[in-house]
Amino acid sequence: MNENIGSINISSDAYKRDKSLFWKSVYALLILALALLIGGIIMQVLFHVTKAPLLLGLIVAFPLAIPLELWNFTDPDTLFRVMAFQDRFLMVCFGFAIGLGSIILYLVAIFTHPNFGIKDFFVPGIVIGGLIFGIGVGLAGYFPGTIWIALGQGRRDAIYASFGGLLGAFTWSIIFGNVKWFFWDTLNFGPITWASVAGISSKFGVFAVSLVFGIILLLVFLLLPRYPKSKVKDSCGYHMLGKSEKTITFDLVISEDFEKYPKANRYLTKLINESSKENARMTIPLGLAFTITAVAVIILHQIFGESTTFSWIGAQLSYLANPTWAASNAYFQLFGGLHMVNGVPVNHPFSEIGWEPFTDLSSFLGGLIAATLISKRYMAFKPQVPKIWSHSHNPKYRPIGAFLGAFMVLFGARMANGCASGHILSGNIQMAISSFVFMIFVLLGAWVTLRYFMHLKINSQGYTK
């Protein structure tokens, strides 16, 4: 064990208990994910039902939210490093999830009828919304979904982020009717995919395209080294096959993690902050739980998204304050269940949005369960400023950064009609071109912000120094 992380004794009983707890949790999540997918297939094939009950949303996000909390993607420091390309673990994981998820989805789609939610490719909204979203991520260190998980983790700046997100989504709701012609109607190419632009529409043909698309993304997972200046032989593929025994440990971050989370699971803290054989092999079962669930929700009910709930909350609060105005709002009418009937405002809260508020609550509960029982990172809303923010800005301004950043994240997400979950994950699994373009501009916006505002530079250690 590296002397810099001497607080971890890998032969201690506490370390062994932490390891056992982690692996039991991983396989429990994998079993739940498989149950969701198999249940969805049975629901469609045997019972010819295409919509799962709304209340299933209360647990369906567990195999998505809990892995994200275990990987510590709810910590803004982690997301800052990821979006600055200093730590490529999220890209590796998303390469796995998108690539394998696309293959599984279109294989299952041969004999089922998934509830596809492919987003229209309207160029202004996707490009500008993606840039705004990325800049917001660079400031806040949160995606819409990780805000809910971080609230479950007891992270104080997630409170500021949640209010910023609500205001950002509400602001888009107010202006939508006047700007839709430009952002959504201009250069709108519809819900196109990599298969449809090639003129392929048969189920077997689309599955063939998903194989090519999926293999390309899986190669990102297998061959992209986690840390800058590392060699290909240090990538997940080489580690998994036993072709590399080298372990690259992120000592500085491990030390900081124990400073931030003194009671953290020692095995997990070490495992997620290294490039090693064990880290690579851990990604498979945990990544499978994440990926299978992302596919299952498309089979069960709808794509997995986290940002629409922010607008839905604004719609329901608006209805309480002024029913006529809320029911007349063009954006709220898209998903809020709000309508005017013979001049009378009507509200059916879940008639359009479906189970997304329940899945967001599930994300919150998943974060709470993971942080209190597995990772032991529960923070009880104590004040804590991300290290990377402290390195470049006055800590007292962190609440403003979290609020304004989340405002931009949710404003950009609603402009692009999707977020990291609905676009980058679910959309790319469905091979939507709009989602791929959105992802590129999110990465660009975040990288520029982190490079020039947060002064986060790439180096071999993947940190600010």
What pLDDT is attached to residue 376?
A: 96
What pLDDT is attached to residue 7?
A: 61
Convert the pLDDT of each residue in 11-24 to its tens digit.
788 899 999 999 99
pLDDT top residue among 49 and 160 = 160
pLDDT at 459 over 50: yes
Q: At what angle do helices 76-83 and 433-452 cross, to 10 degrees?
A: 100
pLDDT at 462 over 60: no
Highest mean pLDDT, choosing among 176-180, 268-272, 386-390: 176-180
In this structure, is the dihedral angle defined by the CA atoms of residues 4, 7, 13 and 15, taken in order, positive or negative?
A: negative
**b vs e for 252-285, b when ≥16 Cβ sit within 10 Å of the residue's Cβ?**
bbbbbbbebbeebbbbbbbbbbbbbbebbebbeb
Cα–Cα dist 406/320, whole Å: 24
Q: CA-based angle 401:82:455, to the nearest 5?
A: 55
Q: How far is CA 382 from CA 159, 238, 361, in A?
A: 11, 41, 22
Provide mean pLDDT across the span 238-259: 84
pLDDT at 227 over 80: yes
CB 57 within 8 A of CB 362: yes
Distance in Å from the first CA to the final CA of the chain: 23
The two most distant CA atoms of the chain are separated, in Å, by 74
**What's the whole-model pTM score?**
0.94
Q: CA-based angle 340:342:346, to the nearest 5?
A: 35
CB 154 within 8 A of CB 378: yes
Convert the pLDDT of each residue in 68-88 to its tens digit.
999 999 999 999 999 998 888
- The percentage of residues in the chain with a pLDDT greater than 70, rounded to a whole number, is 96
Highest mean pLDDT, choosing among 178-192, 272-286, 381-395: 178-192
In the block, residue with structure tokens 């994300």? 363
What pLDDT is attached to residue 458?
A: 55
pLDDT band at 27 (very low <50, low <70, confident <90, very high): very high
pLDDT at 460 over 70: no
CB 92 within 8 A of CB 226: yes
What pLDDT is attached to residue 4?
A: 42
What pLDDT is attached to residue 461?
A: 52
CB 143 within 8 A of CB 384: no
H/E/C letters for each residue in the chain?
Answer: CCHHHCCCCCCCHHHHHHHHHHHHHHHHHHHHHHHHHHHHHHHHHCCCCCCCCHHHHHHHCHHHHHHHHHCCCCCHHHHHHHHCCCCCHHHHHHHHHHHHHHHHHHHHCCCCCCCCCCCCCEHHHHHHHHHHHHHHHHHHCCCHHHHHHHHHHCCCHHHHHHHHHHHHHHHHHHHHHHHHHHHCCCCECCCCEHHHHCCCCCHHHHHHHHHHHHHHHHHHHHHCCCCCCCCHHHCHHHHHCCCCCCCEECHHHHHHHHHHCCCCCHHHHHHHCEECHHHHHHHHHHHHHHHHHHHHHHHHCCCCCCCHHHHHHHHHHHHHHCHHHHHHCCCHHHHCCEEEECCEEEECCCCCCCCHHHHHHHHHHHHHHHHHHHCCCCCCCCCCCCHHHHHHCCHHHHHHHHHHHHHHHHHHHHHHCCCHHHHHHHHHHCCEHHHHHHHHHHHHHHHHHHHHCCCCCCCCCCCCC
State how beta strands 248-249 and 274-275 pair.
antiparallel
Structure tokens at 360: 């967001």
Looking at the DSSP assignment, which residues form a beta bridge with residue 188?
Answer: 122
CB 292 within 8 A of CB 29: no
Structure tokens at 368: 């709470």
Give the count of beta carbons closer than 10 Å to the beta carbon of residue 324: 12
In the block, residue with structure tokens 């209190």? 372
Provide mean pLDDT across the span 167-187: 97
Convert the pLDDT of each residue in 328-387 to its tens digit.
999 999 988 899 999 999 999 988 888 899 999 999 999 999 999 999 999 999 989 998
What pLDDT is attached to residue 463?
A: 47
pLDDT at 63 over 90: yes
- The percentage of residues in the chain with a pLDDT greater than 90, rounded to a whole number, is 71
Looking at the DSSP assignment, which residues form a beta bridge with residue 193?
Answer: 432
pLDDT at 3 over 70: no
pLDDT band at 207 (very low <50, low <70, confident <90, very high): very high
Convert the pLDDT of each residue in 263-315 to its tens digit.
999 999 999 988 888 988 888 999 999 999 999 999 987 767 789 999 999 99
Q: What is the mean pLDDT of the chain?
A: 91
Q: At what angle do helices 62-70 and 356-369 cross, to 10 degrees?
A: 40
pLDDT band at 1 (very low <50, low <70, confident <90, very high): very low
